[in-house]
Structure 1
Amino acid sequence: MDRVTRCLQLRAVAVRAVEQLPAKHRELLEHYAAGVNAQLAAAVPLEYQLLQLTPAAWTPADSMLIQLGMARYLDGSPNADRARARLFDGLAKDIALFFSSSAGVLDMSVDGSLLPPPPMLPTREQLDFRVSVNESGVQQNATGVTPPLPVLPAPKETQPGSNAFAVAGSRTKDGRAIVGNDMHLALMAPGIWYRVRLVWSEPTAASSTKELTGLSLPGVPLIVQGTNGHVAWAFTNLTADLSDLIVVEIDPTDSSRYLIEGGSEAFVKSTATLGVGASSETIQLRATRWGPIIEEREDGRLIAQRWATLAEHGLDCGLFELVHATTLEAALETARQWHGPPQNMLVAASDGRIGWTIAGTLPLRAESTLVPVSWRNAPKWSGIMDAREKPMIVDPVSGVLTSANQLSMIPTGNLAAVLGSDEAAGDRAHRLRELLEARTDWTEAQLHAVQLDTRSARLLRWRDALIAACASDTSDTTDAASAQVLVDSLAILRAWQGSTDAAEQAPVLLDQVRSATRGVFARELANLSDMRETGASARDLSSALDDEALLRILEVRCEHLLPHESASWNAFARAMIVQAAAQSRGKDGGFRTRGDDNRAWIRHPAADSLGAAARMAEMPKAPLPGHPTSVRVQTPTFGASERSVVSPTHLSDAILVTPCGQCGLPTSPHFRSLHRYWQEGLPYPLMPGPATQRLELARTLPPSAPETPAPEPAPVTSPAPASPPVSRN
């Protein structure tokens, strides 16, 4: 991972970003770095002790690197482009778009308006598995029994994302606006966020007292999600097409140069040193006019990544200014102006109003790219998008805004080259709106319960499609040994009401059906004559197939899309259920439950190095409710990194639930002290309780400075966050 990351040359980007910051933001980062370094001098963190390393001094550039690291983690477009490339190499564009698109029947925008319909199913003239596969030389099997398939990559459901919603005063019990957020990230101990409440005085300001309450990201002096007492804000990842992968060709006459229109130009070369234990390794880095080289293919061609975040002025600390936003419009405009990891931002204001906008750095380019493209066909970039082009919604008629990484709006203008290809399915956003529009007397506690909803419309659609397919004709090609398995499985599916709670068996069975179906269609596509010429395997294609496309095929059940090894859709559905049932059994022979498959695996990254003491660095391995397709997104290692429900002027009612605890030291009583609330879905107050410790900061004057007394410090409700440093090798 370090080798690949170094190719992006992020430290140089971070240093440049610090140099371009306004003086007040740069000064804040410098003070923050001084605090981190003072703590490092006082006590070396456990992680460095275990690795026997000495941490380097923290710098403002390290804080910018934290933002860059988060941006890279959240941007899935390069991986999506790579996955789709195999499909587009062997299929017509319309067919490849159908199989890779997440657009579905439940899609709707942030304010509830309808979005463009999903791609049409392929016609018989475009794709016919009953003919095309046979012509490729693959023998048809009319028995209806699909042979077992190897385990293939899972559906792309656990991409970093989030749920967020805002309800206006017209939909709450007493007219307050409320915003809710649960940000979905990889789960580990300690949790990624640090709970903070800051109160301080600014004597020169019109309002002398400022406050910020919410979550900070260690390494950055910023409240990422929270409130300033006037507005409260929430974020979800903007899952959009944010970068291009450019296929670069080396000049055949000079390997130090690469081809461009009309000739060639030299690579910009540099080196990086990787620390490997006590030794080190130097690697060679190359960059082009399009961006850094991140990959070298077997055929000698190179891949450069053109990424908006790496662009000039693509990263800043503009969100620092949220502390001064006292109105809905001011908060939204601050977010629009900020450059960083692109996000949907939802805001609730003290006057009962709500709004949404897109924050972060967006590319300004001629068109989107869905796959790696040759430098000869690379779209023209014109820098980064101006804040005025970012959309904004205020005061929606419904009084509800929902964002769950779905397509936020119908993309027009320059946004059409960014939005519309990499978004998540609309299931979670649809379910949130369905729940939120059901009443007009919401409270924080009730909205917290919405965040725990485990109903999966996606799995219900799969269940309904399977049952309909099984009843589509009266023929029965199931052998006697499988008959009882089919009866038992269908009984579980028919009785299921859509919950993904830990005790449910149907979600396990349906996930196995989805996996088996994905394998069948990946193999069907791999066996098409044009696809066979590309050399793509079923495994290569599997990760690009979107679950929505496969589900729609099963719902419609066109004859020409029936996999060639099945005699009928009835036979196909039965075969998938029987095969899935075999993969859904526990050690006792019975069907596993969702909780059996979804036990928490949340631990400190260094747990393995602790030997027998590793359990000290883990959270309880409890069975967890939820599913990637429900509002309560949950897998053993991925899910809600926090759950918050906040009205900016009613903080005594606000809720903030975080996994693990407030301390990162496994031996501390605070390492897992908050985890039960997260695990069991219980509310926990945003505001801190009674202080148990107090830290007073006093200014130390240099000897030559006049000895004037420092002003009395403002009360500190809770200590400032301790930020774990990152070693720079």
Structure 2
Amino acid sequence: MSRRFRPWRWLLLAVLVLLGVTFAAGWYLLAGSRARLEGKLRVAGLTAPVEITRDASGSVTIEARSRADATYAIGFVHAQERWFEMDLMRRVAAGELAELVGKAALDSDLDIRRHRLRSVAQAAYAALTPRQQQVVDRYRDGVNAGLADLREKPWEYFLLGSDPKPWRSEDTSLVIAAMYLDLHGHGHDTRELDIARMRAALPGPLVDFLLAPDPDWEAPITGTLSHPPVIPDASVFDLRRVPATAAIPAADTSSRSDRYPGSNNFAVAGALTDSGAAMLANDMHLGLRVPDIWFRARLRYPDTSAPGGIRDAVGVTLPGTPALIVGSNGQIAWGFTNSYGDWMDWVRVTGDPADPSRYRVPGGWAAIEHHAERIHIKDAPDRVLDVQDTRWGPILANDTDGTPLALAWIAHYPRAYNLGLMQLERATSVAAALELAPTLGMPPQNLLVADREGHIGWTIAGNAIPLRAPESEPQLPMDGSQASGTWQGWVAPAQYPRVVDPAGGRLWTANNRTADGAALDLLGNGGHDLGARAQQIRDDLAAHGAFTTGNLLDIQLDDRAVFLTPWQRLLQDTLAGARDPALRQMRELTASWRNRAAPDSVDYRLVRAFRDEVHRLVLAPFVARVRARFADFAWPYGGGNAEAAVWSLLRDQPAWLLDPRYKSWNALLQDAARRVASTLGTRPGGLAARTWGEVNPARIRHPLSPALPRFLTHFLDMPDEPLPGDANMPRVAAPGFGASERLAVSPGHEAQGILEMPGGQSDNPLAPYYGAGHADWVDGRPTPLMPGPVKWTLTLLPKSP
């Protein structure tokens, strides 16, 4: 018997040896792409030694004798810790992802390549001053030196069977372009297309009503509230008299279809702090991944305008650029939220019937330009895309009457890209920072600044705000054949709205409308958030008479369901007297209102699902009529959707705007509750088991996780924990989406500052600090802004001539 099984023993031993060798080889390659943490290294491109230290969490401090050398060093560190993510960002923006990953990315490349952003990035680099180009080149050289110093190429390229390509100077502009794509709907102005479709299919007064902002939830920092929406009477539109249309298919009430924006920043004046210095909080909500989009860094270098002659700036950088994006420098602290102004417009392209190669422009004709964009695809033939370009931008869609539409987008202009943001780390006051704001080549953002002297201020940062003709309607396509139908130039710096040292000593923004009147006309509405989140922050700030950084973090973590409280009351009223056991159980489960989007909250999930279903049923007949003409219509994106309209209809109950399937508005509400109970109650455990955490897991993953076996993703992804928070409250959270950082700091008092981040510093799972700090982010435990005790020291030395 022993002889019979001896060959199997040898085979088993051989398999084990093979597995061991494979594991050892994989470990060796993975370890070879870890960042260099210690020692001394001579590199070409430095003028003086630079010391790079890391604490136990991987937070980096760079000590240099000039900002130029610090720029080189941060490029070196970015490449060693985050090369793959930098490469993805430049490739996504350039439409060159299929070259790396194959056909799976072809649709994305075809979509993005129409914007020709690599050509824009090259033109943006060429337009920089020689000094600005030197900064970009210095960073480029540091990046390539960091890549070259890795013993093995970044581990992701072994899995992909590819080799990394060197960083080019224009690639930094491509990383900025990637942020334009992320913050501006990936270059799709579907919101204005869908508004145009609504206006083509429904009476104007009805569309105005359905899309009206909600003054009950608005919280601008300056100006007045909007007027309450006006319900159009039956002479405008009567559902009882129009032909019936197909019903809208039922939606899954547990889905997360209404993804709202989520960034917050707020500031309090020095009169409200113990130190007399102002205080700033900033949490930018973005899609989350492993590692996080930001990279923690502290930069120290000589600067005569800084306290003690040393500029000491700390915050987060964006790998791919050398700038400190948000942070504090001892004199000011600054942070951003996406402004949701109107930064793109459709332009009608009127062709010449006798010559399809040209189109009408004011005073004559112009030729359509054709660009052959070659897309390289890994393991497949190249694909050539014909991009039709106009003076306003590429032709990407058709108007409701079939007329071609070109997209005018600020991201198509080279002026919209520069590294002016780097100047903020040397600004000495709120006034100086606000003066810089109109010169920054970046997606337009709400900039909040707090300074050491106690001042606070707000403005819009970004140098490319389009100037439109007064008579234009920015929510509808412009007429390119008319001089007044296109952009008239750019808003001058003196026109930028500002608020400095408001009487209450408090400022806040949360992707909401921040101003009114002329300021709003200049900035436009690109889909402002409803305002409930901003209002909750405003009220949280008003509830304190004095502040610490801990108070600001508490506001960032506020998951109270203020916005849904009226919906909870409406659900209770709707179910009063219900005889159906499921509806009676639903009323019992939501009667005790915990008022929080907590992971174990059943009441929150049921009330939220009820609100979603009511919205769907109320709006269904209007959506159906638009889709009857435009099959791909979707409700225009914009934080509040139709909250004001829906509540107006539920309050006044006009029979002519009620879906004829229902005898009364109460019948609609009862049907909405019944649908929620039916959908959620049939799942395991019934309604009582339907917690919020069940549909709100973190889901923070490495970009390659979807293509890897599950047992490997366990080592790459962050724990898939249920998270508190949701839309319309300060703590916005959804699967794969949330606060990419939480900063709370008072300039000059950075030692008491807080900086939480998900996902950690490094993209290498063998790094000793992989995922460090993530648990604090999940639990809301304060993580110090300043790096801790030094654990590793690397010194970069200039090579001898």
Q: TM-score w.r.t. structure 2 length?
A: 0.80
Aligned counterpart for 2:674 among listed residues 578, 598, 610: 578
Match of 1:283 among 377, 382, 385: 385
Select between 676-685 and 253-262 the one with higher mean Cα deviation.
253-262
Indicate the SS of the match to 1:584: helix
Q: Map Cα deviations across residues 20-46 of structure 1 (whole Å, 9 max, x no partner).
A: 223332211101000111122233222
Shift in CA distance, 298/91, structure 1 to aligned 2, threshold 3 Å: closer
* Residues 179-219 of structure 1 deviation map (CA, whole Å, 9 limit, x = unaligned): 00110100111100000001112589996421220000110
Deviation per residue, 1:229-259 (Å, 9 max, x gap) = 1000010001111110123244333333334
Q: Is the 8 A contact 2:359 2:366 kept in 1?
A: yes
> In structure 2, what is the Cα distance between the partners aligned to 1:172 and 1:94?
49
Residue 496 of structure 1: how far off its partner (Å): 1.0
Q: What residue number does 2:593 align with?
A: 496
**1:167 matched to which residue of 2?**
268
CA–CA distance in structure 2, aligned partners of residues 203 and 571 of structure 1: 71
Q: Secondary structure at the match of 1:687?
A: coil
Distance 1:390 1:176 in 2: 26
1:14 matched to 2:125:
no
Structure 2 Cα separation of the partners of residues 65 and 147 of structure 1: 40
Deviation at 1:82, TM superposition (A): 2.4
1:4-83 matches, cutoff 5 A: 4-43=111-150, 44-76=153-185, 78-83=189-194
Secondary structure at the counterpart of residue 189 of structure 2: helix
Residue aligning to 1:90 = 201
Q: Does residue 1:507 correspond to 2:507, yes or no?
A: no
- 1:637 CA displacement: 1.2
SS in 2 for 1:240: coil
For the 8 Å contact 2:334–2:450, the answer to whether it is kept is yes
Alpha-carbon RMSD across the aligned residues, in angstroms, is 2.7
> Is 1:454 aligned to 2:598, yes or no?
no
In structure 1, what residue type is equivalent to 2:599?
A
Q: What SS class does the counterpart of residue 488 from structure 2 fall into? A: strand
**For residue 500 of structure 2, what is the aligned residue in structure 1?**
394
- 1:238 aligns to what? 339
Q: Report deviation, 1:157.
A: 4.6
Match of 1:185 among 271, 278, 286: 286
Matches of 2:585 and 2:747, distance apart in 1: 51
Where in structure 2 are there 5+ consecutive unaligned residues?
1-107
1:686 to 760, 770, 785: 785
Query: What's the CA shift for 1:362?
Result: 1.0
Partner of 2:521: 416
Which residue number corresponds to residue 431 of structure 1?
A: 536
Residue aligning to 1:709:
none
Task: Show the 5 A alignment for 1:511-660.
Answer: 511-526=608-623, 531=626, 535-536=629-630, 540-541=634-635, 545-585=641-681, 586-591=683-688, 592-611=690-709, 612-660=711-759
Call closer, same or farther: CA 1:165–1:191 in 2, change over 3 Å.
Answer: same
Picking from 238, 246, 253, the partner of 1:128 is 238
SS across alignment from 2:563: helix
Larger mean CA deviation between 75-84 and 484-493 belongs to 75-84
SS at match of 1:313: helix
Aligned counterpart in structure 2 of residue 311 of structure 1, from 413, 426, 441 = 413
Structure 1 pair 670/553, CA: closer, same or farther in 2 (3 Å)? farther
What letter matches 1:518 in structure 2? H
Task: Report the residue type matching 1:66 in the other structure.
Answer: V
Partners of 1:110 and 1:302 lie apart in 2 by 39
Alpha-carbon shift at residue 127 of structure 1 (Å): 3.0
Alignment-mate amino acid for residue 431 of structure 1:
Q
From the superposition, tell whether residues 485 and 271 of structure 1 become closer, same or farther in structure 2 (CA, over 3 Å). Answer: same
2:347·2:486 contact (CA, 8 Å) conserved in 1?
no
Aligned position for 2:451: 349
Query: Separation in 1 of the partners of 2:437 and 2:363?
Result: 41
Distance 2:744 2:359 in 1: 52
Greater mean alpha carbon deviation, residues 460-469 or residues 10-19: 460-469
How far is 1:155 from its partner? 7.8
**Aligned-partner residue type, residue 474 of structure 2:** T
Q: How does 1:650-729 map to 2 (within 5 A)?
A: 650-702=749-801
Tell me the alpha carbon deviations over residues 19-76 of structure 1, each in whole angstroms, 9 at most, x when there is no partner.
2223332211101000111122233222333222222221221101111110121124
Relative to structure 1, the CA distance from residue 148 to residue 37 in structure 2 (aligned partners, 3 Å threshold; closer, same or farther) is: closer
Structure 1 counterpart of 2:440, one-letter code: W
For the residue of structure 1 that corresponds to 2:297, the secondary structure is: strand
Q: Identity of counterpart residues, as a percentage?
A: 32
Q: Distance in 2 between matches of 1:356 and 1:160?
A: 20
Describe the shift of the 1:147–1:576 C-alpha distance in structure 2 as closer, same or farther (beyond 3 A): farther
Alignment of 1:237-256 (within 5 A): 237-256=338-357
In the TM superposition, residue 539 of structure 1 has moved relative to its aligned partner by 6.3
2:581 counterpart SS class:
helix
What is the rounded CA distance, in whole Å, between the counterparts of 2:589 and 2:648 in structure 1? 22
Report the alpha carbon displacement of residue 543 of structure 1 after superposing the two structures with TM. Answer: 6.2
Bigger proportion of residues as helix: 2
Q: Are 2:698 and 2:719, in contact at CA under 8 Å, matched by a contact in 1?
A: yes
Amino acid at match of 1:384: W
Aligned length: 680
Task: Please list, as runs of the form range in 1=range in 2, the aligned pairs for 1:254-273 lying within 5 A after superposition.
Answer: 254-261=355-362, 264-273=365-374
1:365 corresponds in structure 2 to 468
CA contact (8 A) 1:162 1:405 kept: yes
Structure 1 contact 288–304 (Cα < 8 Å) conserved: yes
Question: What amino acid sits opposite 1:619 in the alignment?
Answer: M
The whole-number CA distance in structure 2 between the counterparts of 1:268 and 1:171 is 58
- Give deviations 1:489-530, integer Å, cap 9, x for gaps: 1223331142111111122223322332233234311455xx
Report the Cα offset of residue 410 of structure 1: 0.7
Alpha-carbon spacing, 1:397–1:541, altered in 2? closer, same or farther (3 Å):
closer
Is the Cα–Cα contact under 8 Å of residues 184 and 633 in structure 1 kept in the other structure?
A: yes
How far off is 1:541 after superposition? 4.6
Distance 1:410 1:537 in 2: 35
**TM-score scaled by structure 1?**
0.87
* Equivalent in 506, 511, 531 of residue 405 of structure 1: 511
How far apart, CA to CA, are the structure 1 residues paired with 2:748 and 2:355?
A: 65
1:75 partner amino acid: H
Structure 1 position 158, deviation (Å): 2.9
1:79 Cα offset (Å):
2.4
- Residues in 2 aligned to 1:628 and 1:662: alpha-carbon distance in whole angstroms: 27
* SS at structure 2 position matched to 1:198: strand
- The alpha carbon displacement at 1:393 in A equals 0.9
Q: Deviations over 1:557-587 (max 9, x none)?
A: 3333332222222222111111112223342
What is the CA–CA distance in structure 1 between the aligned matches of 2:718 and 2:512, rounded to whole Å? Answer: 31
How big is the shift at 1:682? 0.9
SS in 2 for 1:12: helix
Q: Distance in 2 between matches of 1:188 and 1:668?
A: 17
Shift of 1:147: 9.9
- Separation (CA, whole Å) in 2 of partners of 1:54 and 1:154: 39
Task: Give the partner amino acid of 2:721.
Answer: A
Cα pair distance change 1:154/1:74, threshold 3 Å: farther
Matched-pair contact (CA < 8 Å) for 2:288–2:738: yes
Distance 1:319 1:623 in 2: 36
Contact 1:345 1:357 in 2 (8 A): yes
